Structure formats: structure tokens, C-alpha cells
Amino acid sequence: MRSTLFALIAMTTLVACGDKAEVTPPASQASAPKPVTYDAAPVVNPGKLKYVAVCQGCHGSTGGGQGPFPKLAGKPAEELIAKLNDYRAGKEVGPQSSTMMPFAKALTDTEIESISAYLAAL
């Protein structure tokens, strides 16, 4: 009896140490679905983002102007760039110059160009 028990334990141990075949789960138990991937990041207009953050409060969501603040949508980008640069330089351009100067001074050249291009395209 002892020899049978010993033989059984020895075989179990040897079988457990041998090569293990990989078990492929049935299709119903396959791995989780693959995550969705995108080929490119969404296109974000930096001029629009900056306009919404800085200008929209006074000039309106579509650049159409409101109250004493003029319409900007559709104006040539070069004109808008020139005005913003004048404000940034501290020049009095019109009745809202004192309001516009701090906003223009906080903008970089790239931001001025982006905002102007965005508004010109509206």
C-alpha cells in the first residue's frame, strides 16, 4: 500500500513539473474587447479657444458685438492685428481703449494672430 501511495505521489509531482500545454479559452470567453483608438487628435482652433476665454464676454459668442463693444466677426485679420498691437502699445484707438489695453497687453503675438484669423473667418 505504501509503495502504491508513494508511486501515486511521485507521478503527480512529475506530471505537475512537466511541460504545460496552453489552453485556449472558447470564443465566448475570449479576452476583453480592444479599446477604441483614434488616428488623430481632434482639431482645436487656438484662436477660438482664446477668443472664448478672453474676448467673448464683451464682444459676444459669435463676435457680433454687444452694447458699446463693436462687431469683430468678418473683419480682416490684418486690421484686427493692427488694432490689438496698437492697444498693446498703449495707443488710444477709440472710446474703449482703456478697456482693451490690459487685454491686448496680456496676449502674445501668436495669440493675437490666432484670434484675428478666427474672427476674420466668421
Which CATH number does the domain housing residue 69 bear? 1.10.760.10
As for how many domains the chain has, the answer is 1
Residue 43: per-residue pLDDT: 78
Round the CA-based radius of gyration of the chain to a whole number and report it: 35
- Provide block-wise average pLDDT over 10 residues at a time, the chain (122 residues): 55 56 60 70 88 97 95 98 97 94 97 98 96
Whether residue 51 lies inside any domain: the answer is yes
Whether residue 98 lies inside any domain: the answer is yes
Residue 3: per-residue pLDDT: 59
Rounded CA-CA distance 3/85 in Å is 99
Burial (0-12, 13-18, 19+ Cβ within 10 Å), 18: exposed
Residue 57: per-residue pLDDT: 96
Whether residue 14 lies inside any domain: the answer is no
> How many other CB atoms sit within 10 Å of the CB of residue 42?
5
Range of the domain at 60: 46-120
Whether residue 94 lies inside any domain: the answer is yes
pTM of the full predicted structure? Answer: 0.66
Residue 16: per-residue pLDDT: 53
Residue 35: per-residue pLDDT: 77
